[in-house]
Amino acid sequence: MSSSILIYGATGGVGACLARLLAETGSQLHLVARHEETLRPLAQSLGATWTAADVLDEASFAAVTEAAPASLDGLVYAVGNIAVKPISRVSAADLAHDYRLNAIGAALAVRAALPSLRKSASGASVVLFSSVAASRGFPSHASIAMVKAAVEGLTRSLAAELAPAVRVNAIAPSLIRTPLAARMVANPKLREAFAAAHPLGRLGEPEDIAQLAAHLLWPRSGWMTGQVIGVDGGRAAIAGK
């Protein structure tokens, strides 16, 4: 059965991978990203509708809702950043930006789409994104750990509030080989060190995350809600070698 899915951050490494995966299953997609020049060709290649919008602008959520299908079976907020900086160099503006992008944006996306999600005939699913940094203490990760912990709290609260009509879960990855992380893994020695910090001995790939996101969107995961699931090469739960 075809599903109608709204994806924020659709041109990012994980968002684009998920969009392609869902398109292969016949899902009807509405894609959202900031830059039209990258969003338009992706949407056209997948037969998807799209809206170029910046989630830092609150008015953008109303525009997305107006353009997206009236009934939604799923929403994915695959928007975020990699904020790695010692606390001595983190400004109030940095903290506000990271919180707005990761946590407030996720909440506003769900709020705007809620009437459409509640129209789903099979029950809707929301997928948000946390980080391994929310549960593990890493140096220079104060801002991103704080805001991703907020996303985990949002996930559980929304899961309680919106049940049984809408399920809400989150994925907590470790470092993924995406364009967002390209600068961090460009140096071969640094990349090897990052990989070695994971018990499974490698960095994550977008497909590792997209496969779980797709599963959470599909009815086969219909008894899962309020969960934060680590897809992190074992980094959060297992001691490294």
Instruction: Summarize the confidence of residues 15-40 as an average pLDDT.
Output: 97
Residue (of 87, 177, 185) closest to 139 by Cα position = 87
Instruction: Summarize the confidence of residues 87-107 as an average pLDDT.
Output: 97
pLDDT at 220 over 80: yes
Instruction: Summarize the confidence of residues 204-233 as an average pLDDT.
Output: 96
**Structure pTM?**
0.94
Residue (of 185, 200, 188, 183) closest to 236 by Cα position = 200
Q: What is the mean pLDDT of the chain?
A: 94
Query: Which tens digit of pLDDT belongs to each residue from 1-22?
Result: 479 999 999 999 999 999 999 9
pLDDT at position 197 is: 87
Query: Which tens digit of pLDDT belongs to each residue from 147-157?
Result: 999 999 999 99
Q: What angle do CA 31, 147, 64 make, to 5 degrees?
A: 20
Residue (of 158, 122, 5) closest to 72 by Cα position = 5
CA–CA gap between residue 228 and residue 81 (Å, rounded): 19
241 confidence band (pLDDT: 50, 70, 90): low
pLDDT at position 181 is: 73
Instruction: Summarize the confidence of residues 14-37 as an average pLDDT.
Output: 97
Buried b (16+ CB within 10 A) or exposed e, 206-224: bebbbebbbebbbeebeee
The contacts of residue 199 (CB under 8 Å, 6+ apart) are 233, 234, 235, 238, 239, 240, 241
Residue 26 phi/psi, 5-degree rounding, is: 90, 10
Which tokens in the block code for residue 79? 């928007």
Query: Which tens digit of pLDDT belongs to each residue from 164-216?
Result: 999 999 999 998 888 877 777 778 888 888 888 888 988 889 999 999 999 99
Give the type of residue at 159.
Answer: A
Percentage of the chain exceeding pLDDT 90: 80
92 confidence band (pLDDT: 50, 70, 90): very high
Q: Which of the listed CATH numbers 3.40.50.300, 3.20.20.10, 3.30.830.10, 3.40.50.720 matches domain 4-176+207-229?
A: 3.40.50.720
pLDDT at position 194 is: 83
